[in-house]
Amino acid sequence: MSSSAGLPGFNTRAIHAGQDPDPATGDVVVPLHLATTFKQDGVGGLRGGYEYARSANPTRTALQEALAALEQGRTGLAFASGLAAEDTLLRTVCEPGSHVVLGGDAYGGTFRLISRVASRWGVEHTPADLNDVDALRAAIRPSTRVVWCETPTNPLLNVADIALVAEVAHEAGALLVVDNTFASPYLQQPLTLGADVVVHSTTKYLGGHSDVVGGALVVGDDADLAEQLAYHQNAMGAVSGPLSDWLVLRGIKTLGVRMDRHQANAARVAEFLLAHDAVASVRYPGLPDHPGHDIAAKQMSGFGGMLSFRVAGGEEAALRVCERSQLFTLAESLGGVESLIEHPARMTHASAAGSPLEVPGDLVRLSVGIEDADDLLADLEQALA
Ligand SMILES: *Cc1c(COP(=O)(O)O)cnc(C)c1O
């Protein structure tokens, strides 16, 4: 990926932003700072602004600077999980009576947070198809504070036009929040397309090794919003711990090379599935007949490592494919180096059953890892046989 607007290139930022060698020791890797409190040189005499580790910790500072640099935002904030980040964001920008428009098939946990938790505090919501501008406009009310957009979506890989949705949200005085977990900042930088805040589950591609749960918010130009979110990060306390921060920082350094392999493998898997008799349809934005292909090609620099497909034999057959795969491990989550398979209707999206966000029972989702593609195809072949 090339550099933009005078910034160093993406991979250079991933390895260096916020991660200068330690001034005292020369450590080339940001140290894991475990201290909960920091010595003051006289009352209020803080060294580097550090006082108490919920408020700020040097390892977290490094991660936050790296995240902001990758998304081309002004402020990055790290949290204990993606949902902790989302909760802090919603409780910062909404109040009782506020309304959220939530795009199509949002992540099940996001839908649960908004529909079952935030609703108890008087926050209302309307699901809408973000690809249908009239439907989006119709869903927006005077009290709409947030349009929540995930693109590509989980698990149907629908693609929304971020610039267009930003325009409609802003016309109505609402903020556009983009959950960029699936694409990662390597493939898509929503703040540059008009989004106000980017949300990440760093548990996924940013961490990249299935060994850390974390979340992040990155804010664009809005200094007041950035300040309020930073205030609430400390006041609400759902901060990430230093070991998590350190692991995400380590993951970020290889994000670019991992994503290149993830998407090369996903493209091979998509073509293989498309040609397979036991597969009814394949959802991958890189396929030319995917309904969001053109928008994805315009706003992303690649099509990512996630895909889903419908099994011709129906739900029972889909469950059998999940059980028979071996190299693709049957597990929730995504974005790690190892390939995963799951059944969204019974696993990640079970909480959306009976809601407008319910997903088909014959759908299987793959997080395509960075193993050798031939081995992945062989595993799917035997699982589908
Ligand atoms: C996993 C995920 C989340 C939630 O993040 P956690 O780290 O599990 O709390 C939010 N959005 C998407 C798209 C996700 O995949």
CA distances from 231 to 199, 226, 235, 239 (A): 17, 9, 6, 12
Query: For the chain, percent helix, then strand, then coil, each to nearest 5?
Result: 40, 15, 45
Q: How many CA atoms lie within 13 A of 111 on its CB side?
A: 24
Residue nearest to atom 8 of ligand 1 (CA): 82
Chain centroid, CA 169 distance in Å: 20
**Are 66 and 13 within 8 A, CB to CB?**
yes
Residue nearest to atom 2 of ligand 1 (CA): 201
> Residue 312 Cα, ligand 1 centroid: separation in angstroms?
29
Short-list 226, 167, 165, 169, CA closest to 197 = 226
For residues 341 and 329, give the distance between their C-alpha atoms in angstroms, rounded to a whole number: 6
pLDDT given for residue 6 in this prediction: 79
| Choice from 203, 308, 359 to test ligand 1 binding pocket (greatest atom count within 8 A of CB) | 203
For residues 237 and 232, give the distance between their C-alpha atoms in angstroms, rounded to a whole number: 7
Residue nearest to atom 1 of ligand 1 (CA): 201
For residues 163 and 178, give the distance between their C-alpha atoms in angstroms, rounded to a whole number: 11
- Which residues of the chain fall short of a pLDDT of 70? 1-5, 356
pLDDT given for residue 350 in this prediction: 81
**Are 80 and 214 within 8 A, CB to CB?**
yes
> Residue 214 Cα, ligand 1 centroid: separation in angstroms?
9
> Residue 282 Cα, ligand 1 centroid: separation in angstroms?
23
Residue 352 carries which DSSP code? Answer: G
Q: Which residues are part of the catalytic machinery?
A: 54, 107, 179, 204
* Parallel/antiparallel/unpaired status of strands 306-311 and 363-367: antiparallel
* Parallel/antiparallel/unpaired status of strands 306-311 and 279-283: antiparallel
Atom of ligand 1 lying closest to residue 181 CA: 13
What does the block give as tokens for 363? Answer: 């759908």
pLDDT given for residue 2 in this prediction: 44
For residues 41 and 39, give the distance between their C-alpha atoms in angstroms, rounded to a whole number: 7
pLDDT given for residue 4 in this prediction: 56
For residues 186 and 120, give the distance between their C-alpha atoms in angstroms, rounded to a whole number: 36
Which domains does the chain possess? 10-253 (3.40.640.10), 255-384 (3.90.1150.10)
Q: Which long-range contacts (CB under 8 A, 24 or more apart) does 272-278 make?
A: 272/377, 272/380, 272/381, 273/307, 273/309, 273/380, 276/380, 276/381, 276/384, 277/312, 278/311, 278/312, 278/313, 278/317, 278/321, 278/384, 278/385
pLDDT given for residue 3 in this prediction: 47
Q: How many CA atoms lie within 13 A of 101 on its CB side?
A: 26
Short-list 156, 126, 151, CA closest to 141 = 126
Coil, helix or strand for 10? helix
Residue 350 carries which DSSP code? Answer: G
> Residue 345 Cα, ligand 1 centroid: separation in angstroms?
16
| Choice from 81, 178, 181 to test ligand 1 binding pocket (greatest atom count within 8 A of CB) | 181
| Burial zone of 39 (CB within 10 Å; 0-12 exposed, 13-18 middle, 19+ buried) | exposed
Residue nearest to atom 5 of ligand 1 (CA): 82
Ligand 1 site residues (CB inside 6 A) read: 81-83, 107, 109-110, 150, 154, 179, 181-182, 201, 203-204, 213, 215
> Residue 93 Cα, ligand 1 centroid: separation in angstroms?
20
